[in-house]
Structure 1
Amino acid sequence: MKQWAWGVGLVLLLALHALPTVAAPLQAQWSFRLLPGNAQLKAHPEAAQWRPASVPGAVHTDLLATKLIPDPYAGAPEAGLQWIGLADWEYQARFDVDAATLARSHAELVFDGLDTFAEVMLNGRPLLRAGNSHRTWRAAVQGQLRASGNELRVVFRSPITTLLPGVQAMPHKIAGNYPSPYGDEPRDAMVGNFVRKPGYHFGWDWGPRYVTAGIWRPVRLESWNAQRITDVAVQTTALDAQRAVLQVAVEVEAAVARQARVQVEMLDPDGRVAATVGQPAALHAGAQVVLVPVQLAQPRRWWPVGHGEQARYTVRARIDADTPEAAEHSIRTGLRTVELRREKDAKGGQGFAFVVNGVPIFAKGANVIPFDMFPARVDPSRIRRELTAARDANMNMLRNWGGGYYEDEAFFDIADELGLLVWQDFMFGGGMQPGYDPAFRANVVAEARDNVRRLRRHPSLVLWCGNNEEETAWKDWGHGRDLKAADPAFAARVWQGYVDLFGNDLRKMVADEGLGVPYWSSSPSNDLDTVANDSTRGDKHYWQVWGNPALPVQAYLRETPRFMSEYGLQAWPVLRTLEGIIPAEELRVDSHTVRAHQKFMAGEGNQRLLQYIEREFGTPRDFSDFVYLGQVMQAEGIQLAALHHRASRPYTMGSLYWQLNDVWPGASWSSIDYAGRWKALHFHAKRFFADHAVAALRDEGVTRISLLNDLQQPLNAQWRLRMMDVDGRQVSKQQHAVTVPALSALEVGRFADAELLGRADPARTVAVVELLDGTRVLSRQVVYFAAAKDMQLPKVQIDSRWTQDGDEIVLELRSAQLARGVWVEFERMDATLDDNAIDLVPGEPVRIKVKAGAGLETLREALRIRSVTDAMASR
């Protein structure tokens, strides 16, 4: 009987050992409350009792779910919710652990995101203290778990009350970002740049101030026995169309020293085995890396969208396959090379171009900010919606801006799939960092290591950038000048800390762990050279249009950078997105609620927006026309800049406008609003970022015409220039055959106004410039010779015609006269259009494909069309 029991025990033991490493989300019921004894309890006693919580989540969303606070986005509740960021919060959970997990010799609790100053206790014993929202926190828990009733407790301390005494005690402060208008934090002692937490939570000029706390990413329990594979990385030694020479790094953690066999298997994009390599390894106790060389013939490379396929391989690593000690780990990755090419020119300038698989890529795209104020609310479908919209607008690069958080794997998986290159900032949004503090720097280095290693498998990731605007702020905005005047010794210490962190520490981390992805110390920058925001070298942020001194949009044509990584114009969301957010009676430029959703210049941004609208169109009649004309102005202005950048190739090799998306329903520089609706700018981007496009750019009485070809094959086409009046009468026409070389911008003509117009009235005449493939229009631009408010634009009648072929519904628009900025929408319903925000040339139809959850008759009845002349008060 004893022998039988022993045998069963041995079989059970072997079965447990045969299980691979197990990483499972923690199955627990969470609750939260305001920490007992906290100063905020007196004013908010309703938050004292335990209430259900969501993990991942945030205290704001938990308070909202339990109806303790109103919707943070609707109306103007922001001032009344600042107490949440001043409070300390407590979360707790109870969970059970199965017998198999308890039997394993190693177990860890892993917290992928704790926001931010957190004390974690397990079964009444301290487990860890966290102080960085961007890090992964691990704690060994073998021997501390029990089968049932485990108690996990997490206390979050307010970052403001935690750090404020130290910041206030500083004789001279380092520069912060946006001071709070609500009194929860002194304006002269901001803590945001001292804490490793998303900077935008402290407020930005496109989003509210909600200083969050909580368990914002998943918690999981990992367990294992003899050994586990903790990471697999693929280093590319050589890669071309014939051969890939790879080094696969398999990171192993072993319980004891032992002999093992490591096997690497690579599956091609179709799931077929492309290579299998095995080799012995002498493991020691602890962590180590086993390098396995792999070669592939005729590899399928990963390319940016428009340049080839987005091929991805599965890399599967095994240790001691088919043995009780077996461990396995797999990743999906793409094979590509990337270079940041910085060639010097004869005039002392220096280029800034991304080269993928040996091909220079003109970067077309936008800056990405967080998708929500509360990151746990962002699911993969939301990310896919925005990234697909970027790809559909012919973008090939997105810059993940440094004031938010490092995105989830889902973001990069989707970018890999869609062929979108990613410029990734480290999470520093502005101001100045206390890099002079060794503990702060060590915390950042640990954060960088976590995220570089987590994201490095993604072929879409092509740059790590140290920070956003910190170098230019120090050198150009007065941050350095003011601190030097106040305390020269401290200023020197602050700057040396900056150089240590961004010039050395992060650069070394990326070099050591980033698998060859380039590093850039700041944006804008020339990588710590003398001038930070230089048009002749490095990348450029240009804000003299929109920002101070608020130059007209034509100034974009006089600024020619090597790579434009920020520029922008503001506009409001589509009105439908504001339903339920701003009451109908409050839809006025100067209403309290509208101002609360306009964060630029502390709510005064609508005056800046009106300034730009009125320059071109005059004063809008009402709020609806204000929103519409603002979107037309934004779209036309950014189009001017982007086409200028593209026409300046190869001197200029990138154009990333500010910004792609929104964190909430408010005024901003985005081309996609918070609800995912495209503004006019995004429809324009689809045209001005197209692989084949015409750039007809008029400035100071001269129109420069260039033809753009971003593909790796020459384009045989024609270009046509027609002069016509607003009623469609043709004044003149010319058409020419042309071959546009691959990867180029070809200037085909410069024309003075007098040459184009002759005796024609500039208030009634336009130029229509087109790139043609036979009779098919590849790209079209209408050039205006006067501001819309000074033109004799007719009141147009736009005719609409519907056709349906199976599931495809097409709306055809036609006007006998010129119709500028035609916008199609549907009353009380949403529809997806493949084109919008267009200029109708007299007599020439435009066909728009429409997708909607409604039939043809419903669409016909709901159709609403407007043009610029409809919205101008003088008309």
Structure 2
Amino acid sequence: MQNRITSWCLAIAVMLLLMPAQAPAAVLDARWEFRLLPGNAQASAHPRASAWRTAQVPGSVHTDLLAHALIPDPYVGAPEASLQWIGLADWEYRATFDVAAATLARPHAELVFEGLDTFAEVELNGQPLLRADNAHRTWIARVEGRLQPRGNTLRIVFRSPITTLLPSVQAMPHKIAGNYPSPYGDEPRDAMVGNFVRKPAYHFGWDWGPRYVTAGVWRPVRLETWGAHRIDDLAVRTDRLDADAALLTAQVTVRHEGAAASALLDVDVRDPEGRIVARAQHNALLQPGEQQIDVPLQIDQPRRWWPAGQGAQDRYTVHASLGRDEDPALRAERRIGLRSIELRRQDDADGGQGFAFVINGREIFAKGANVIPFDAFPARVDTSRLRTILTAARDANMNMLRNWGGGYYEDDAFFDIADELGLLVWQDFMFGGGMQPGYDPAFRQSVVAEARDNVRRLRHHPSIVLWCGNNEEETAWKDWGHGRDLAKADPVFAAKVWQGYVDLFGNDLRRVVAEEALGVPYWSSSPSNDLDTKANDSTRGDKHYWQVWGNPALPVTAYLRETPRFMSEYGLQSWPSQAMVDRIAPRAEQRIDSPVIQAHQKFMAGQGNERLLHYIRLSYGEPRDFAAFLYLGQVMQAEGIQLAALHHRASRPYTMGSLYWQLNDVWPGASWSGLDHDGHWKALHFQARRFFADLAVAALRDDGVTRISLLNDTPTPQRVDWRLRVMALDGREISRRQQAVVLAPGSATEVGRLGDARLLGVEDPARTIAVVELLQDERVVSRQVVSFVEARDQALQADQVKASLQGEGDQLEVVLQARGLVRAAWIDFGLHEVVLEDNLLDLLPGERRVLRARSDRDAATLRAALRVQTLGDILRVHAVR
């Protein structure tokens, strides 16, 4: 009996050796805790934070403190000043975990930290493991021989970036320019540390978000184990691509431990339906260490990946395996899109230079917005929220997003969704403004490692079409006085700082992209002409335009006199909905100068509401109350950005991009966003769906002349009619004109420039409008209403629309019936969540609109809550004299 048991145990042991090992890479299954580090200067004032408490990883110290009710909600009310102690403190995290016997049996092991924010000292089982100083990097430590079956302890101490760096920054005889000085006294205004630390810059505050200098394990920790060798990476380079064939090279990076050995490398490609369309084998002789094995592949009649509106987003799956073992360490997979990318910069006869993205040989007009971080605490952003925001961008007819450089490199989920939706991504490296210490070799070395980590992680995504060095640093140096002021104070140091900038952004990052990014172009800064003379030029490179909204606060019609090659930033502010404001401030405190409202308005140190009022007053007069201020701000923003975006589109091919600032919000408050923090559509986003539509009309009135252009962003010719009607506000038609035209693919066609005298004749401009429409198959696909006076002087009337909710359950419809002209009708259900097919509508006299609606609330509740605001209702006190 004993012999049979011994034989049976031996057989089981042999089977275990022959069976595939457990998954070699898994998120560390651990129990996490945190506390304020004992002995820290903040401990006496915050003793409750010094006890060990459970922590959420990935997460941050702010969210852990909030989970234990040790701090108030950082977004509600005005707690920001009282929470700055968190960024001055040192924090301790620890994890306890066990390791399975099969995992321990594997000869090689690493702990992989995908995100440590930021100055971190890591110990494993009481022994030092690593020291980190860059939140944007992946940190890896070998741990074979250091793990035990039970009770492993991982300890991480996070040092305050402010107290860590402040002594050296204060010791500088002359400071390099920072971003936004703290108004809270936690950091001297003349010695900002944010530029010196590789941490999300927006954590130190921005003009659309709070200052919460957080810390923590903000991305997963993984334990990876393997045998004699493993596949470290799989990249797929496109060597040739056209309608007939795709010639690819699979670049398989293998790590081998021990003496030289041979292994069979299999690579196959599957089409979007999962069918194998290419396969190759390679007998590899593996040498000790890391090596790249190139395997050529060919796909006949490839299905190319296109941006939204230009074709399908087909993707292929490339799979590599080393040997016949099913060990996951010997396998790798990438989902790719086949597309070519070029940043075309052709010189003009007059000395200018174009700036156009060319995908699969086709010039694409870039339509979209800038993306900022989705939350002050990145670990709170889940895939569902990413999908909500990115789907909203696609639904608004956008085809490009710019990932702004003051945040963090997004999770793979962001780019997976962008690939799926056909959203091109302009990806900044994470430098948001001010000036960097590029003169410091250690700083540059850290940035190069950060760049390689992230370019390699993301390079298989077809959506990424540009890597850009930074946001606004070159123009700040050249145009804002940063370079001039430092050169005046210390010309030798200024020259050193600028050379460091050129070394980092002109050479180091350019080299990383050239070596790692599989052909995606590099651009040194936004805005810039890639380090060539002027940084923010309308005739060359990309442009940021802030003379509207920023100083000197020109009227929105100034957008029509600024024609860039590619507009990568411009914007107007607004507040979110009344329901969102109610979540952060009680109604009694909802006035533009209240402390709570000011705390959520970050522009110009809280003076942004005055700037917003300036723009509201220009077109709509004085808001009668705070609710009118909210509504008119959103209408102003939507109508102003529409004016700029249509001007950019009508200027094609001279202008080839229009990305407004900004798509989303980091928290609930005033900002330039079209979507609020929860992803709800503000008025701007509904308007964007119209002004970014592939077929659209641009009727742009300036200085008494209306320029009419017909826009076709589709890849095929379009037969359309355009119609011009001049009518009175009560619906009386004064004149009509209609004409058929064929619009070329990817074109802007001007069809008329009409002066007010020709359009109006003897009619009263305050009581008359022009309606310009684009029709296809007798259906109106785009419309613009042209007014001849500002809304405040227009003879708009109140109570000109009747609204009702019809249907039940999932068959709800909002029906609008207009009596006279209705401008900017905004449908609202108060606190109830309702998804509307459309909103912010202009209705012509007598027009009826039926809009689909979705909600989980019953129809009776929604009928009672339904409200519609219009400019006529809000401005009726401004009826024409």
Whether TM-score is above 0.5 comes out as yes
1:523 corresponds in structure 2 to 526
Give matches, 1:231-270, under 5 Å.
Answer: 231-256=233-258, 257-270=260-273
Corresponding residue number in structure 2 for 1:586: 589
Aligned mate of 2:626, from 588, 602, 623: 623
Other-structure match for 1:292: 295
Percent identical pairs in the alignment equals 68
Counterpart pick for 1:661 among 661, 664, 687: 664
1:47-102 CA distances to partner (integer Å, 9 max, x unpaired)?
11111110000000000001110000000000000000000000011100000110
Name the aligned partner's letter for residue 197 of structure 2.
V
Amino acid at match of 2:878: S
Deviation at 1:858, TM superposition (A): 3.1
The residue aligned with 2:97 is 95
In structure 2, the residue matched to 1:366 is 369
- Structure 1 residues 324, 305: CA separation in 2 closer, same or farther (over 3 Å shift)? closer
8 Å CA contact 1:814–1:844 kept in 2: the answer is: yes
* 8 A Cα contact 1:527 1:538, kept in partner: yes
Q: Give how far 1:854 is off.
A: 2.7
Instruction: Supply the distance in 1 between the matched residues of 2:327 and 2:563 (Cα, whole angstroms).
Output: 63
**Where does structure 1 lack aligned partners over 5 or more consecutive residues?**
none
Preserved CA contact (<8 Å) 1:15 1:324: no
Confirm whether residue 874 of structure 1 aligns to residue 878 of structure 2.
yes
Find the aligned partners of 2:123 and 2:432 in 1 and give their Cα distance.
32
Which secondary structure state, in structure 1, belongs to the residue aligned with residue 427 of structure 2?
strand
Cα deviation for residue 593 of structure 1 reads 0.2
- 1:305-320 alignment, distance < 5 Å: 305-320=308-323
Q: Partners of 1:772 and 1:324 in 2: how far apart? A: 59
Superimposed CA distance per residue, residues 274-311 of structure 1 (whole angstroms, 9 cap, x where no aligned partner): 11111111111111111000000111111101111111
Counterpart Cα distance in 1 of 2:245 and 2:422: 22
Specify the alignment match of 1:833 in structure 2: 836
CA distance in 1 between counterparts of 2:15 and 2:37 reads 45
Match of 1:575 in 2: 578
Q: Which residue of 2 aligns with 1:278?
A: 281
1:861 CA drift (Å) = 2.2
Q: Per-residue displacement from partner, 1:706-744 (whole Å, max 9, x unpaired)?
A: 000000111101000000111111111100011111100
1:178 maps to which of 177, 180, 187: 180
Query: What TM-score results when the alignment is normalised by the length of structure 1?
Result: 0.98
Matches within 5 A, 1:628-643: 628-643=631-646
Q: Distance in 2 between matches of 1:590 and 1:204?
A: 20
Match of 1:143 in 2: 145
Distance 1:651 1:20, change over 3 A: farther
- 2:73 aligns to what? 71
Cα shift at 1:639: 0.0
**Aligned partner letter, 2:220:** P
Match for residue 207 of structure 2 among 202, 205, 208: 205
- Contact 1:318 1:326 (C-alpha < 8 Å) held by counterparts: no
Give SS of 2:51's match: coil
The structure-2 alpha-carbon separation of the partners of 1:554 and 1:100, relative to structure 1 and needing over 3 Å to count, comes to same
Separation in structure 1 between the aligned mates of residue 182 and residue 317 of structure 2, nearest angstrom: 48
Unaligned 5+ segments in structure 2 are none
Confirm or deny: 8 A CA contact 1:662 1:670 kept in the other structure: yes
1:659 alignment partner AA = Q
- The superposition leaves residues 255-289 of structure 1 with CA deviations (integer Å, 9 ceiling, x where unpaired) of 12211111101111011111111111111111111
Match of 1:347 among 320, 345, 350: 350
The superposition leaves residues 779-798 of structure 1 with CA deviations (integer Å, 9 ceiling, x where unpaired) of 00000111111111122331
Between the aligned partners of 2:668 and 2:810, the Cα distance in structure 1 is 32
Q: Secondary structure at the match of 1:165?
A: helix
Larger mean CA deviation between 325-334 and 805-814 belongs to 805-814
Please give the secondary structure, in 2, of the residue aligned with 1:167: helix
Counterpart in the other structure of 2:389: 386
- Asked if the contact 1:20–1:326 (Cα under 8 Å) also holds between the matched residues in 2, the reply is no
1:484 aligns with 2:487: yes
| Structure 1 residue aligned with 2:453 | 450
Among 696, 704, 707, which residue is 2:699 paired with?
696
Kindly indicate whether the alpha-carbon contact (under 8 Å) linking 1:305 and 1:396 is maintained by their aligned counterparts in 2: yes
Shift of 1:824: 0.3
Cα displacement string for residues 623-655 of structure 1 (whole angstroms, at most 9, x for unaligned residues)? 111000000000000000000000000000000
Cα distance in 1, alignment partners of residues 398 and 595 from structure 2: 37
SS at 2:253's partner residue? strand
The Cα shift of 1:809 comes to 2.5
Cα displacement (A) at 1:827:
2.9
Amino acid aligned to 1:289: Q
Q: Does 1:494 align with 2:501?
A: no
Q: Cα gap change, 1:326/1:852 in structure 2, threshold over 3 Å: closer, same or farther?
A: closer
* 1:730-765 per-position Cα deviation (integer Å, ceiling 9, x unaligned): 111100011111100000000011011110111111
Q: CA deviation at 1:323?
A: 7.7
Deviation of the 1:21 alpha carbon: 5.7
What is the letter of the counterpart of residue 617 of structure 1?
Answer: Y
SS of structure 2 residue aligned to 1:41:
coil
Partner Cα distance (2:176, 2:326) in 1:
58
Asked whether the 8 Å contact 1:174–1:432 carries over to 2, the reply is: yes
Larger mean Cα displacement after TM superposition, 854-863 or 79-88: 854-863
Query: Structure 1: which 4+ aligned runs deviate by more than 6 Å?
Result: 323-326
Structure-2 residue corresponding to 1:161: 163
Structure-to-structure mapping, 1:361-760, within 5 angstroms: 361-760=364-763
CA RMSD of aligned residues (A): 1.4
Rate the CA distance shift 1:805–1:768 in 2: closer, same or farther, 3 A.
Answer: farther
2:794 pairs with 1:791: yes
Give the paired residue count.
874
SS of the aligned residue for 1:163 comes to: helix
The answer to whether the 8 Å contact 2:804/2:863 transfers is no
**Residue 85 of structure 1: aligned partner:** 87
SS of the residue corresponding to residue 127 of structure 1 reads strand
Find the aligned partners of 2:626 and 2:396 in 1 and give their Cα distance: 28
Looking at structure 1, the residues matched to 698 and 607 of structure 2 have their Cα atoms a distance apart, in angstroms, of 34
Distance 1:734 1:766, change over 3 A: same
Cα distance change on mapping 1:126 and 1:9 into 2, 3 Å: farther
SS in 1 for 2:42: helix
Counterpart of 1:593, as a letter, is V
SS at match of 1:187: coil
Q: Partner residue of 1:356?
A: 359
SS of 2:454's partner is: helix
Deviates more, 1:167-176 or 1:578-587: 578-587
Decide whether the 8 Å contact of 2:92 with 2:158 is kept in 1: yes
In the other structure, the counterpart of 1:34 is 36
1: distance between equivalents of 2:120 and 2:18?
38
Distance 2:577 2:809 in 1: 30
Post-superposition shift, 1:322?
4.0
- Preserved CA contact (<8 Å) 1:796 1:817: no
CA pair 39-801 structure 1, distance change in 2 beyond 3 A: closer
Give the partner amino acid of 2:676.
D
The one-letter amino acid paired with 2:830 is: E
Q: Which residue is equivalent to 1:192?
A: 194
How far is the alpha carbon of 1:828 from its aligned partner?
2.8
1:104-133 Cα offsets, whole Å, 9 max, x none, are 000000100000000000000000000000
2-side partners of 1:847 and 1:539: how far apart?
A: 41
- 1:325-355 Cα offsets, whole Å, 9 max, x none, are 9811111111111110001111111011001
Q: Does 1:808 align with 2:811?
A: yes
For the residues of structure 2 that align with 1:734 and 1:353, how far apart are their CA atoms?
A: 35
SS at match of 2:210: coil
8 Å Cα contact 1:320-1:326 kept in structure 2: no
- Cα distance in 1, alignment partners of residues 22 and 515 from structure 2: 29
How far, CA to CA, are the matches of 1:761 and 1:365 in structure 2?
38
User: Which deviates further from its counterpart, 830-839 or 607-616?
Assistant: 830-839
Q: Where does residue 331 of structure 2 map in the other structure?
A: 328
